[in-house]
Structure 1
């Protein structure tokens, strides 16, 4: 079974110069885990929920911002940990950054004619959950771990018939 049979064709994309705020909005509204990043018609990277969440790591987007752990929030009122206005400003700065500044690259892709086994091998080896799918060098779709699992299930059903 090839990747083309299980991929999502014509995936939702974002342009490299769009903001992280826009990428977050699309990811949330479409209920997807990531977006291929385009420079015009050229695929140049991918931005995922993980890339965005990494901006909010314990160190934060600046040396002044520190976010408490969930357990610390429960134990002590949050206002004792940080100045809300400073945090709001820092988070606003993150949202204004360009997607290009946080996207993952170089981009790891799979060809539409590759097998789902090859796509699964790449995902496991690279530790990623989705792969842009190319056809003749152009973005044709996206395949996720869930797509591959569904494809394996379908293949077993077909083999049983």
Structure 2
């Protein structure tokens, strides 16, 4: 099964110079935990609710004057809509991520794929992917 069949199309995005507050407001409005960060329509990173909590709030960064680019994860893992679900499961498990932007050949975001999208489809690899994503990271 292809990623294009499981992804959420046309996700909300933010720009690198958007404020952390704006990103948090969009996450709340759209009930999502991650937003692709795009510059001129191309993926440059991803900002998650955890990035906002750990990289911004815990450090005392003011949400109105802290840019998304200061707290986003870069580079962001991404996947093609033509890839198969097993590729996404492997990538998500190896990188310990729960969400991955789906990009076309020009790196334009065309969708988002979450572990939940895979679970709803009851894909076979979801249990193994969830286990891999949930493992503690090594502190090398």
TM-score range for the pair, normalised by the shorter chain length: 0.7 to 0.9
RMSD: 1.6
Q: Is the 8 A contact 2:79 2:102 kept in 1?
A: yes
| Equivalent position of 1:67 in the other structure | none
The structure having more radius of gyration, on CA atoms, is 1
- When normalised by structure 2's length, the TM-score is 0.81
Q: Is the 8 A contact 1:55 1:94 kept in 2?
A: no
- Aligned-pair distance for 1:150? 1.8
- Aligned-pair distance for 1:56? 5.9
Deviations, residues 107-147 of structure 1 (Å, cap 9, x unaligned): 11011011111101111110111010012232110100010
**Structure 1, gaps ≥5 residues long:** 62-89, 154-161
- When normalised by structure 1's length, the TM-score is 0.71
- Aligned-pair distance for 1:29? 1.4
CA separation in 2, counterparts of 1:151 and 1:135? Answer: 23
Higher helix proportion (structure 1 or 2): 1
| Equivalent position of 2:86 in the other structure | 117
**Structure 2, gaps ≥5 residues long:** 124-140
Higher relative contact order, chain-length normalized (CA < 8 Å, sep 6+): 1
